[in-house]
Amino acid sequence: MTRSIFEKIIDRQIPATIVYEDEMALAFRDINPVAPTHILVVPKKRINKLEDMTQEDSALIGHLCFVANTVAQKENLEGYRLVINNGEQAGQTVFHLHIHVIGGRPLSWPPG
């Protein structure tokens, strides 16, 4: 399996604006933001998409939500949206599971 862009960011092989890191997760600013705040939260463990997670990954995925809220609080977001684009039809382009943290402007519903 070729290394994902996000694994290269985790390993500091390519640069990113990192806003949070712990032993399980990394959060960094999206290179192509769709809102004033657009941060990606990624597990350090490579999981391509939700179909590839196992029950043992449940705590890890829950931890990603904890990290998402932590970075949202650091950004002083009053409200924010968490998005997982899972699969090509849902718009996933990087096959290393990630949560988008989007905020800093009013967000419409439903998404496109």
How far, in Å, CA of 103 to CA of 37, rounded?
5
Residues making up the chain, counted from first to last: 112
Among 32, 55, 89, 108, binds ligand AMP (CB under 6 A): 32
Among 30, 45, 69, 82, binds ligand AMP (CB under 6 A): 30
Q: Minimum Å distance from CB 32 to ligand AMP? A: 4
Residue ranges of E strands in 2-88: 18-21, 25-29, 37-43, 80-83
Select from 13, 15, 22, 14 the least CA-distant residue to 41.
Answer: 22
Does 98 qualify as catalytic in the annotation? yes
Binding flags for ligand AMP, 48-87, as an x/- string (CB under 6 A): -------------------------------------x--
The set of catalytic residues is: 98
